[in-house]
Structure 1
């Protein structure tokens, strides 16, 4: 009898021992557990990617100067205001890479302007063509409207853009007298090369 009751007592659960085992399993310092969790999170494979950093986007095409920065180049502004065909002829010769002379383009523009009053449509066509070559904002409707509303400002902007790309836009220079580099590249600006290796 005594042996069976003693066996029952041995089989009965002991709450004090279980409570001690539970407390032994739990860490005494909660901050240590959070640190271990964070260290585990850093080692997780999902942490290889930086969260919150947007992917690199392509460079948005823009003109090197604004449409209304005409007063930055007063001589060109005066020529364009009184004889837009001259500025157009210079631009068209560079865009077409010397297929025809500046004088021929100027006479074509002046003839269309004199007989129809729509010389701006021809210059708008070359603005669209220039936008395609140099990856500039290429909305045909906007380019046409710019020339319809303010052709002198548009021509001056195109003139400055070609200057910024390395063209010598002085009268009488033309395509044939441009540098060899400009003739080979068409004036397309190449981004500068980054030197090899990082230095501090």
Structure 2
């Protein structure tokens, strides 16, 4: 004899079915038009099982005020910034013109207008785009306006870290074939470890 009271356990138990079972479909992913409308939902989350992509922020290999790490370059840049600029511009332009021509152009602009830093700031921006360095044009111009020797020394050290032989008189033509082919692009610059080793 069956009880007339409802059995909650019976109602919750799965009912046997014959044939294939239907699985609810996943929510559709938003299309480009949906994302432009500002629709955000649970489907805009990361794919389960795939690690999120980590974007490494671009940085210079050395700091702006680490000029004293390379005293000879600092001395040359302090008294003749056109020489250091010429070396940098020749490498950035991949030997289109010689270091001497770039140095004379910088010296001429500096002598007649006093604004040689604007030419060197342009090459800093160009170098930033080329090597995917921090490329805020306003910051790059301000760095050259406020402290051009420090900026030139930093750019010089960056090219050295990318494998360029920056000794005076070497030039683009005497660089290694690997550097001439790649232009220093894609060269992994080792990250700076703060502090160093200690016991």
Distance 2:51 2:128 in 1: 28
Question: Within the alignment, does 1:86 sit opposite 2:119 as a pair?
Answer: no
> In 2 relative to 1, CA 49–131 (structure 1 residues): closer, same or farther, beyond 3 Å?
same
Distance 1:56 1:115 in 2: 50
* Equivalence for 1:97: 94
Query: Which of 117, 121, 125 pairs up with 2:118?
Result: 121
TM-score (norm 1): 0.70
- The correspondence of residues 158-177 of structure 1 with structure 2, limited to 5 A, is 158-177=155-174
What is the RMSD computed on CA atoms of the aligned residues? 2.7
Shift of 1:189: 3.1
Question: Within the alignment, does 1:154 sit opposite 2:148 as a pair?
Answer: no
- Give 1 or 2: higher helix fraction: 1
Distance 1:94 1:130 in 2: 10
* Equivalence for 2:65: 68
Shift of 1:170: 0.1
TM-score (norm 2): 0.70
Count of residues in Structure 1 that have an aligned counterpart in Structure 2: 154
* Equivalence for 1:132: 129
Any idea what the Cα deviations from partners look like across 1:25-84, whole Å, max 9, x if unmatched? xxxxxxxxxxxxxxxxxxxxxxx936xx97222221110000000010000000000000
Q: Who wins on radius of gyration, i.e. which is larger?
A: 1
Q: Which runs of 5+ in 2 are unaligned?
A: 10-46, 190-199
Check whether the contact 2:160–2:166 (CA below 8 A) recurs between aligned residues: yes
> In 2 relative to 1, CA 87–191 (structure 1 residues): closer, same or farther, beyond 3 Å?
closer
> In 2 relative to 1, CA 145–191 (structure 1 residues): closer, same or farther, beyond 3 Å?
closer
Shift of 1:11: 7.7
Shift of 1:12: 7.8
